[in-house]
Amino acid sequence: MTAQPQEPARPVRVALLGYGYAGRTFHAPLLRAQKAWQLMVVGSSQPATVHADLGDVTVLDDYHAAACHDDVDMVVIATPNQSHASLATTALQAGKHVVVDKPFAIHAAEARALTSLAHSQGRVLSVFHNRRWDSDFLGLQAALASGRLGTPVVLESRLERFRPMVRQRWRESDDPGSGLLFDLGPHLLDQALCLFGIPQRINGHMARQRLGARSEDWFLLRLDYGRLQVVLQAGMLCAAPVPRFALLGEQGAWHKMTPDPQEGQLRAGLSPASPEFGQDHDPGWFSDGTGALQAVAVPNGQQGRYYQLLAAALHGQGSNPVSPEQGCAVMVMLQAARDSAAKGGCAVVPAVLETERCAFALLDRDLGY
């Protein structure tokens, strides 16, 4: 008997909560570029902006009502950080699958409560750690996998900005969940944990360097793996180019100067469906210690891969691309970094649960790239 062709799965209907920078720049374009998703509802107080960009979608200024909307299967939360836990709870209790933009929550306890709720509801809960699919990080992974460097001993990972003026926005306020550690720290920490798992200890340092800063605008974290040391740094007063990544090994080194281009491309309005999207023309550089440098092209960035993998997971054809246990581990690391900084940079042992440690220890390093 000839097998009957399967009916294509209907698109997953989505409510996007928040149409600020994250919702408008990242989530809406990435979702709309894939047939697996249908954006139905947007939680926003600016309906004119939403309709101008997205056309005929339902716009609600009550985010909790949007999270429970009958025409929605999954809720994407891209609101200010302190609202993540409350909105995710509402959506899960309404039987929706949920994506939470980083950071997962404000406290590790909130993240763990959401994880337990998702399991009890039988819903998929995922954290949007999109920079796992950045070109610079993919190039770093390829450099490690090549074996050319030998055993890695130092990784420096930096996301620097030059924004000397403090802006009037919630990310730079003194509200809970504001500040650069909660903004860029989750990206840097998640990438480090993907590569090397949970460290033995973490040292954290934070500062307010700009005049009028209301929250930390510089941080440095050191993750102690024993012989391997990982340094993560971000700030707002870096006017000179510095390497995005610098990896040192027993037999050589690799570095890449410029970061992944996808955020800039999305800001400029380039569709993720465009062939040019994610193309990174700046190579990584190998050195064997003789002074000679060899340029090596990096893979294209593909942040849309997160939503491709998530769609497969929702249809039972793959695993959650970023599990809630992984999101919880990042929250524990953020909390430990803050505790360390409050103690003058003293080393803190991250209090991860075994399930959270295993979530990274068992991570498929290929990640479907």
Tell me the per-residue pLDDT of 21-52, one tens digit each, with 9 for 90 and over.
999 999 999 999 999 999 999 999 999 999 99
Query: Strands (DSSP E) along the chain, which ranges?
Result: 12-17, 37-43, 58-60, 74-77, 97-101, 125-128, 152-160, 201-207, 218-224, 229-235, 245-249, 253-256, 284-287, 293-296
Note if the bond before 29 is cis, omega within 30 degrees.
no
Instruction: Give me the amino acid identity at 177.
Output: G
> Is residue 342's pLDDT more than 50?
yes
Q: Do 44 and 63 meet the contact criterion of CB atoms below 8 Å apart?
A: no
DSSP state of 229: E
Tell me the per-residue pLDDT of 161-188, one tens digit each, with 9 for 90 and over.
999 999 888 887 888 888 999 999 999 9
Q: Residue 364: pLDDT band by 50, 70, 90 thresholds?
A: low
Q: Do 186 and 334 meet the contact criterion of CB atoms below 8 Å apart?
A: yes
Tell me the per-residue pLDDT of 224-281, one tens digit each, with 9 for 90 and over.
999 999 999 999 999 999 999 999 999 999 999 999 999 999 999 999 999 999 999 9
% of the chain beyond a pLDDT of 70: 96
Angle at 160 between CA 139 and CA 44, to 5 degrees: 95
Domains of the chain (ranges plus CATH)?
12-128 (3.40.50.720), 132-302+319-361 (3.30.360.10)
**Distance (Å, rounded) from C-alpha 67 to C-alpha 300?**
34
Q: Do 206 and 218 meet the contact criterion of CB atoms below 8 Å apart?
A: yes
